[in-house]
Structure 1
Amino acid sequence: MKKLYFKVGYTLTGLILFGALVYMGIGYFIYSTLAKADPGCSLDCENTPSSYQDNSKVSDFPFEKYIVDYWESHQYSAGDEDIQIDAWWIPIDRNGPGQAPVVILVHGLRSSKYDSDILLVAAILNQAGFNTLLFDQRDHGMSTIEDGKISIGTKEYRDVIASVDWLVNTQSINPKSIGIYGLSMGAGTAAIAFGLDNRIQAAILDSGFSDLYTIVEEELQREGYPPWLAKGAIWSAFIFGNETLLEPSPKLAFKNHDDRPIFAIHGTSDRRVLPHNTSDMESLATKYGANLTIWLAKNAIHSGVKFMYLEDFSNRVVEFFESNLEGILKDNKE
């Protein structure tokens, strides 16, 4: 009888170990597939702040009205060994940034500073008198390929902090005049950086999220995987990729707000990052007493609020930064 119990126990243990290995194997496959980056600029390589279009589809949007005359290319260290950030610096004019405030713009997943969505926001702000800084997050665009994997902001936030360092140390920017705008994954990245660096005075989170576990689950569902595989993907990312995909969290923007304002924007018809991810920020703001304003734009798709409600978007974004950043605006509209 004891031998029988031993065999049964041994078999059960083996089955459990086998099941765990299979679960982890599936998790690693999902992680390595969904986290794969796509560096470079794809169809957008000819885009610049002074001439760009949406190359992913035919569009009659008047991008030619939202361009800048002067911009500079720069590279700087991300603070991590051997990682260089590739950036476009758009001062208010060729004489430099003057006393105008600065907004750092953070692109989304598998995108870059070459993307028309982020270039449009940069031009809107520059025409309103703001300096702007666009950069490629690591493993994106022309910045260093670290490991070819996307970390949904948990490593990329260091690129934002390095950008703040560059503005303060190289361009002599007053930290009281620095704001940030993040789009999609860039909103998550921006939120983490905002929570960890109080030199950033105000943040706009466009089509973003605050709970990383939820966004991993929803990304799996969007790609056709059951959400219960999320833990396997996260564990595999940690064991095989040294990635802590849940920390640091965008929730830090609310925990460490220090009464700095946050403006969250989301389209109600967004199917890429579901709009509840922004609505859920209200409970975080209430819990931590954060200064949060939310705009849920009716019928707008992912990253589409700026296109569907261009005038309203422009006015709200400009007014938010104008009200919360120190500096003197210069009208750069023709």
Structure 2
Amino acid sequence: MTTGTKKIAGTSTVIGLIPVFVLLAIGDYVYRTGTAVLCGVRESQARNTLSRYYTPGPGQGPFRGPGWNRWVGQDLSHWWITDVSVEEVHIKDPHRPVQIEAWWVPTAYPTRSASIIVAHGVNSSRRDFSALLTAAMLVRQGFNILLIDLRDQGGTTCQDSRHSAGQDESDDIITAARWLQDTKGIPTSKTGVHGISGGAIAAIISAAKSPTLAAFSLDSPIFDFNTAAVHEVEFQGYPGFLWRAAYWAARLRGVDLAAVSPADGVTAAGQRPIQIFHGTADSRVRYQNALDLIAHARQAGVQATLHTFDAADHIEGMLVETDRYYQMLETFFRGALGD
């Protein structure tokens, strides 16, 4: 090959790679913006505590569109908890530079050890109404509660202001369970997890990482990560096909958003029970995810129950049928953790 021919070949290779570089650059932008979360507490959540909490205002709810407006100003005072002690605790991850901020609610401790870790959704905190409402239900049922802020959100350590689709957040759940065991003497066999939206992803992934956590309650989880990621990219306002570019851009940054999948968690659950809450009109995490998760659980011989909320949008079931939601939580955790 002559020198001129080599130059032409080299130039052609560079030109051929330009579209790849451009696509990766776009993918990196989608990754950085699509996974961005607020390191801190949102103004709409700042005043919320277990004793007094509110739904967010128009355009600030868990799903978009005018459908959320019906819940703005919803009276949740019936579910406020004012007669139990709440202690703010800080839990250090023994393996990573992360300190988890949480509320420990020893409803029946030490008489009763059954405890539940409540994990909020993406770009939220333990002060969100959805985490507080479900925690309040569980307190009324006599369970001890650990309400945690997942990393990069609320009061927990800010590492990079991005969520990792449950990969790192699942470690926070395991760290919280270890704290219950080491500090309170509560074994993981008496510890369950209730995850909401993004917290549900972290919860089911934690099943693959911890063989002893006892039970997994999931509100609006994803199942097939690739399909759900396409929908999420579209939800964020980008063309769905850019998901693959975003995934590989993240890999170049050393982040594997699909290292452990929800399917891995379901399979690893084994004899540990799973329950799912999901609305048929979920505009963010499509209802098909719940059906696919249940089908996979049956194939794997895992005990899993689906509670469907007709015409409910993303995590709306707890508002549409609050009493039913309460009953399903109690039945599930009472059966899994005992008294």
CA contact (8 A) 2:39 2:152 kept: yes
Superposition map of 1:1-334 within 5 A: 9-42=9-42, 43-57=44-58, 58-69=72-83, 70-92=85-107, 96-240=109-253, 242-326=254-338, 328=339
Aligned residues: 324
> How many angstroms apart in 2 are the aligned matches of 1:155 and 1:219?
19
> How many angstroms apart in 2 are the aligned matches of 1:287 and 1:3?
61
Range moving further from structure 2, 169-178 or 6-15: 6-15
Q: State the partner residue of 1:331.
A: none
**Structure 1 residue 171: Cα displacement:** 0.8
Range moving further from structure 2, 10-19 or 104-113: 10-19
> How many angstroms apart in 2 are the aligned matches of 1:312 and 1:187?
19
Range moving further from structure 2, 145-154 or 209-218: 209-218
Q: State the partner residue of 1:332.
A: none
Q: Render the CA deviation track for 1:143-181: whole Å, top value 9, x for unaligned.
A: 000111111111111100000000001011132211110
Range moving further from structure 2, 228-237 or 74-83: 74-83
SS at match of 2:111: coil
**Structure 1 residue 297: Cα displacement:** 1.0
SS at match of 1:166: helix
CA contact (8 A) 2:117 2:194 kept: yes
Amino acid at match of 1:15: I
Q: Which runs of 5+ in 1 are unaligned?
A: 329-334
> How many angstroms apart in 2 are the aligned matches of 1:198 and 1:11?
54
Instruction: Please identify runs of 4+ aligned residues in structure 1 that moved more than 6 A.
Output: 1-5
> How many angstroms apart in 1 are the aligned matches of 2:94 and 2:297?
30
CA contact (8 A) 1:66 1:124 kept: no
For the aligned residues, what is the CA RMSD?
1.8
> How many angstroms apart in 1 are the aligned matches of 2:4 and 2:159?
53
CA contact (8 A) 2:205 2:264 kept: yes
> How many angstroms apart in 2 are the aligned matches of 1:34 and 1:144?
20
Amino acid at match of 1:81: R
Q: Render the CA deviation track for 1:24-49: whole Å, top value 9, x for unaligned.
A: 10111111111111121112111111
SS at match of 2:177: helix
**Structure 1 residue 2: Cα displacement:** 7.7
Q: Which runs of 5+ in 2 are unaligned?
A: 59-71
Amino acid at match of 1:219: E
Q: Render the CA deviation track for 1:273-327: whole Å, top value 9, x for unaligned.
A: 111111111231133221111122101111110110111111111101001113x
Amino acid at match of 1:121: T
> How many angstroms apart in 2 are the aligned matches of 1:97 and 1:146?
34
